[in-house]
């Protein structure tokens, strides 16, 4: 047991800001590296293959994200469950959770990959993908779907390690694979020696090969270090009660991700109607936009793990401090980023294109989106606290309201006014601000405190009916 506990970071004691920063910085760097997979693709494709190829990569992402979304629910649930079992000092339940989650992941990845491979062209047509880029987009997406097992596998091992309080180990593996992706991209795209020129499909091949390497490295680490978790076949098994609990937590999170993915797909459909240059500009702006909220997203993910462990240990007063410090850090960082994006967006967009029209269109997009960065950053924090407690239903509801009641209708309506494509960006910012307001209101209500999954170490049983648990927190 001592060896196992040495492999777990205990966030139920010690300095909260120190824990937040030490845990979130590797997450932030990891998010940057994850984004670099697609960003490096976009830089090579956009600069050397042209706006049409860049647009083809862009329109593929919403379709890919739709099929990834439900599986993401399993990984989110796993992090929450592992963190709370760790806080309650129930290592046997940690092991069982890991084995069951890996079983569910294998099934989900097979279903998602098969669906994407068979239906990708149909799905791309549903979002009004311009016919001139459809073959390129379909070819890129199909290869990504083939590598889903590696993407999902790495994300699951990372989710487990994060529940244990370890955000540094996944970062190390991701760094190796990102560097390999950077090297492989030009080789696969333009060809070298016996490797033929593959264009946009080469970028996809480089991505899945790199993801496969990060997954294999993660498995080797677990095996060689005799970790508290294991990937051996005998440990990957179905558990009915844990599956029920995983679905109870993960399904709302998965539906939330699916709702967001479908909403982004429809946003992409509206963007597509304005032509290739607007699509290319939106793609470039979105790449920078994703970097902009990565710090607050990382803080939100860290606050989720800290909340999970402290809820499992019954230390709810520490959760309030987690929230306070997370808010301070998120506001400071996103505030600085907002100013930079408002002042020099065109300079940043030069990474992706030198086309003057695309640069101007992208700059307009970035400036409008940057207005909502601070509230959107706070939304990540509040949702992280709520999700860490095991309450994923409300975050799903908030996403549905902000996306489908505000962002999509407003974007669609304003895009038909004199604002044209700029109306889409206004609608997107408005939805982000609303989601922050709703998340804050629910956090302040304190209802999320009733969603603990396990009791602290003084109790032994899993709380079977999560919805009916009332821990009487004030």
Question: Per the structure, how many domains does the chain have?
Answer: 1
pLDDT tens for each residue of 346-383: 888 988 878 888 899 999 999 999 999 999 999 999 99
Q: For the residues 167-180, what does the mean pLDDT come to? A: 87
Q: Select from 363, 344, 342, 204 the least CA-distant residue to 282.
A: 363
Measured in degrees and rounded to the nearest 5, phi and psi for residue 197 equal -70, 125
**C-alpha dist (Å) from residue 258 to 47, 283, 387, 392:** 31, 20, 17, 14
Count other Cβ atoms within 10 Å, centred on residue 73: 25
Q: Where are the alpha helices (DSSP H) in 9-90?
A: 16-48, 51-87
pLDDT surpasses 60 at 450? yes
The structure tokens 């070819």 sit at 139
Count Cβ atoms within 10 A of the Cβ of residue 365 and give its class: 0-12 exposed, 13-18 middle, 19 or more buried. buried
In angstroms, the CA 466 to CA 62 distance is 33
pLDDT tens for each residue of 128-144: 888 888 888 899 999 99
What pLDDT was estimated at residue 472? Answer: 32
Count Cβ atoms within 10 A of the Cβ of residue 132 and give its class: 0-12 exposed, 13-18 middle, 19 or more buried. exposed
- Predicted TM-score (pTM) of the model is 0.73
Beta bridge partners of 306: none
Q: For the residues 279-289, what does the mean pLDDT come to? A: 86
Percent of the chain surpassing pLDDT 90: 28
In angstroms, the CA 453 to CA 55 distance is 44
* More confident position, 419 or 236: 419
Mean pLDDT of the chain: 84
Q: Is residue 352 part of a domain?
A: yes
pLDDT surpasses 60 at 470? no
pLDDT surpasses 90 at 414? yes
Beta bridge partners of 231: none
Which of the residue ranges 234-243, 320-329, 427-436 would you say has the lowest mean pLDDT?
234-243
Q: Is residue 448 part of a domain?
A: yes
Count other Cβ atoms within 10 Å, centred on residue 241: 11
Q: What letter does residue 234 receive in the DSSP assignment? A: G
Query: What do you get for the CA distance between the two ends of the chain, in Å?
Result: 34
Percent of the chain surpassing pLDDT 70: 90
Whether 346 contacts 363, CB under 8 Å: yes
pLDDT tens for each residue of 308-344: 888 888 888 888 899 999 999 999 999 999 999 999 9
Q: Is residue 58 part of a domain?
A: yes
The structure tokens 């100013």 sit at 339
Q: Where are the alpha helices (DSSP H) in 225-355?
A: 240-272, 276-292, 294-312, 316-343, 345-349
Q: Is residue 349 part of a domain?
A: yes
Q: Is residue 472 part of a domain?
A: no
Q: Is residue 99 part of a domain?
A: yes
How far out from the chain centre does Cα 327 lie? 20
**C-alpha dist (Å) from residue 235 to 39, 148, 155, 228, 464:** 37, 22, 19, 12, 23
Q: Is residue 474 part of a domain?
A: no
What pLDDT was estimated at residue 457? Answer: 44
In angstroms, the CA 386 to CA 406 distance is 22
pLDDT surpasses 60 at 256? yes
pLDDT surpasses 50 at 179? yes
Which of the residue ranges 115-119, 257-261, 339-343, 423-427 would you say has the lowest mean pLDDT?
257-261
Which of the residue ranges 181-185, 425-429, 452-456, 465-469 would you say has the lowest mean pLDDT?
465-469
In angstroms, the CA 206 to CA 36 distance is 12
- 388 is in which domain, residue-wise? 2-467
* Confidence class for position 4, pLDDT limits 50, 70, 90: very low
Q: Select from 116, 103, 194, 189 the least CA-distant residue to 148.
A: 116
pLDDT surpasses 60 at 5? no
* Confidence class for position 18, pLDDT limits 50, 70, 90: very high
pLDDT surpasses 70 at 467? no
* Residues with Cβ within 8 Å of residue 28, at least 6 apart in sequence: 294, 295, 298
In angstroms, the CA 225 to CA 134 distance is 46
* Residues with Cβ within 8 Å of residue 143, at least 6 apart in sequence: 201, 204, 205, 208
The structure tokens 């955000």 sit at 167
pLDDT surpasses 80 at 466? no
What pLDDT was estimated at residue 1? Answer: 40
Count Cβ atoms within 10 A of the Cβ of residue 468 and give its class: 0-12 exposed, 13-18 middle, 19 or more buried. exposed
Q: For the residues 207-228, what does the mean pLDDT come to? A: 79
Q: Is 8 helix (H, G, I), strand (E, B) or coil?
A: coil
In angstroms, the CA 396 to CA 214 distance is 30
pLDDT tens for each residue of 20-47: 999 889 988 888 877 776 677 777 887 7
Q: What letter does residue 313 receive in the DSSP assignment? A: T
Q: Is residue 70 part of a domain?
A: yes
Beta bridge partners of 454: 462
DSSP code string of 365-417: HHHHHHTTHHHHHHHHHHHHHHHHTT--HHHHHHHHIIIIIIIHHHHHHHTTS
């Amino acid at each position: 047991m001592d060896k196992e506990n040495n492999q777990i970071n205990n966030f139920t004691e010690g300095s909260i800001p120190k824990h937040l920063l030490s845990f979130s910085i590797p997450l932030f760097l990891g998010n940057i590296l994850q984004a670099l997979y697609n960003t490096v693709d976009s830089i090579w494709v956009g600069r050397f293959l042209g706006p049409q190829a860049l647009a083809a990569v862009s329109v593929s992402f919403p379709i890919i994200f739709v099929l990834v979304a439900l599986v993401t629910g399993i990984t989110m649930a796993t992090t929450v469950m592992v963190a709370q079992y760790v806080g309650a000092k129930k290592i046997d339940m940690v092991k069982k959770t890991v084995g069951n989650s890996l079983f569910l992941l294998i099934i989900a990845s097979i279903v998602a990959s098969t669906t994407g491979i068979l239906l990708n062209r149909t799905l791309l047509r549903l979002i009004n993908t311009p016919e001139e880029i459809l073959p390129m987009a379909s070819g890129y997406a199909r290869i990504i779907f083939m590598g889903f097992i590696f993407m999902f596998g790495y994300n699951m091992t990372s989710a487990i390690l994060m529940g244990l309080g370890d955000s540094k180990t996944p970062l190390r593996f991701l760094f190796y694979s990102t560097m390999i992706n950077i090297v492989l991209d030009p080789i696969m795209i333009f060809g070298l020696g016996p490797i033929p020129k593959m264009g946009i499909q080469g970028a996809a091949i480089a991505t899945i090969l790199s993801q496969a390497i990060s997954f294999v490295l993660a498995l080797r680490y677990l095996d060689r270090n005799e970790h508290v978790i294991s990937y051996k076949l005998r440990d990957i098994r179905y558990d009915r009660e844990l599956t029920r609990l995983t679905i109870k937590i993960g399904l709302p999170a998965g539906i939330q991700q699916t709702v967001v993915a479908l909403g982004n797909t429809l946003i992409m459909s509206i963007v597509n109607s304005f032509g290739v240059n607007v699509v290319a500009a939106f793609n470039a702006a979105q790449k920078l936009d994703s970097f902009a909220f990565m710090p607050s997203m990382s803080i939100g993910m860290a606050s989720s793990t800290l909340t999970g462990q402290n809820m499992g240990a019954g230390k709810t007063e520490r959760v309030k401090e987690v929230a306070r410090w997370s808010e301070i850090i998120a506001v400071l960082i996103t505030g600085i980023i907002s100013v930079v994006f408002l002042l020099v967006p065109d300079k940043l967009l030069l990474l992706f294109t030198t086309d003057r029209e695309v640069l101007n269109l992208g700059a307009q997009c970035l400036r409008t989106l940057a207005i909502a960065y601070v509230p959107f950053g706070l939304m990540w924090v509040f949702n992280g606290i709520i999700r860490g407690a095991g309450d994923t239903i409300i975050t799903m509801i908030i996403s549905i309201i902000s996306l489908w009641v505000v962002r999509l209708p407003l974007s669609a309506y304003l895009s038909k006014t004199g604002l044209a494509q700029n109306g889409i960006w206004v609608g997107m910012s408005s939805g982000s601000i609303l989601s922050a307001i709703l998340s804050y209101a629910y956090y302040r209500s304190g209802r999320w405190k009733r969603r603990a999954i396990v009791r602290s170490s003084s109790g032994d049983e899993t709380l079977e009916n999560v919805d009916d648990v009332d821990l009487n927190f004030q």
